[in-house]
Amino acid sequence: MKLAGKAWKFGADIDTDAIIPARYLNTSDPKELAQHCMEDADPEFAQKVSPGDVIVADKNFGCGSSREHAPIALKAAGVSCIIAASFARIFYRNAFNMGLPILESEEAAADVVTGEQLEIDLATGIIVNKSRNLTYKAQPVPPFMQELVAGGGLIPYVMKRLRD
């Protein structure tokens, strides 16, 4: 699966309160949540982001709470993939469980700047920076997670288990 989009660069330790502030958690409606996506990190992000865009961040993206509203808001805002030097544990699980692809790449996190066009091959973990003709390598996704994603996320996986 290949993805292409414009990069939005963020720093380290982007927490779930920055991704979707708790003051908006009185709903789990994806459209509502998308309007406030990344609001406390960049108040205009929800207006600026276009479908297919990619977030690139430094270490520990998604730290803080377990709220699935964070990946839901990102996905509903049109973000197609997140690349970070590293991810917080619960965010990592949540993203896979709901089919939001994420990749760990220190190289890309250190180099990419906002506005650059990226092309991502999820199968190989190769990220191409079209704006500067550079290639970065991401950590391969663990086989178990690939299986989850291939099956359509955790719920279909559980449904299959229920049937078997």
Partner 1 sequence: MGMTITEKILAAHAGLDRVEPGELIEVSVDFSLANDITAPIAIERFRQAGAEKLYDVSRIALVPDHFVPNKDIESAAQCQLLREFAVEHELPHYYEVGRMGIEHALLPEQGLVLPGDVVVGADSHTCTYGGLGAFATGVGSTDLAAVMITGRTWFRVPASIKFIFQGNLRPWVTGKDLILYTIGQIGVDGARYRAMEFTGPVIDQLSMDQRLTMANMAIEAGAKNGIIAPDECTRTFVEERAQRSYQFYQSDPDAQYEQVITYNVSEIEPQVALPPSPANSQPVSSLDEIPIDQVVIGSCTNGRIEDLRLAAQLLKSRKVAPRVRCLIIPATQAIYRQAMDEGLFTIFLEAEAAISTPTCGPCLGGYMGILAAGERAVATTNRNFVGRMGHPESEVYLASPAVAAASAVLGRIASPEDLD
Residues in a beta bridge with 54:
7, 81
Element counts in the chain: helices (H) and strands (E): 8, 7
Return the axis-axis angle of helices 143-150 and 89-97, rounded to nearest 10°: 40
Would you say 63 or 109 has its CB closer to partner 1?
63
Report the residue number, 126 or 154, with the smaller CB distance to partner 1.
Answer: 154
Residue 51 contacts partner 1 per CB under 8 A: no
d(CA 11, CA 54): 14
Matching residue, tokens 């991401």: 138
Nearer residue to partner 1 within complex by CB, 120 or 149? 149
Q: In the complex with partner 1, which residue's Cβ is closer, 80 or 86?
A: 86
161 binds partner 1 (CB under 8 A): yes
Q: Phi-psi region for residue 42, left (φ > 0), alpha (ψ -120 to 50) or beta?
A: beta
Where does this chain bind partner 1 (CB under 8 A)? Answer: 13, 15, 17-18, 21-23, 25-28, 39-41, 43, 59-60, 63-69, 71-72, 86, 88-90, 93-94, 97-98, 142, 144, 153-155, 157-159, 161-162
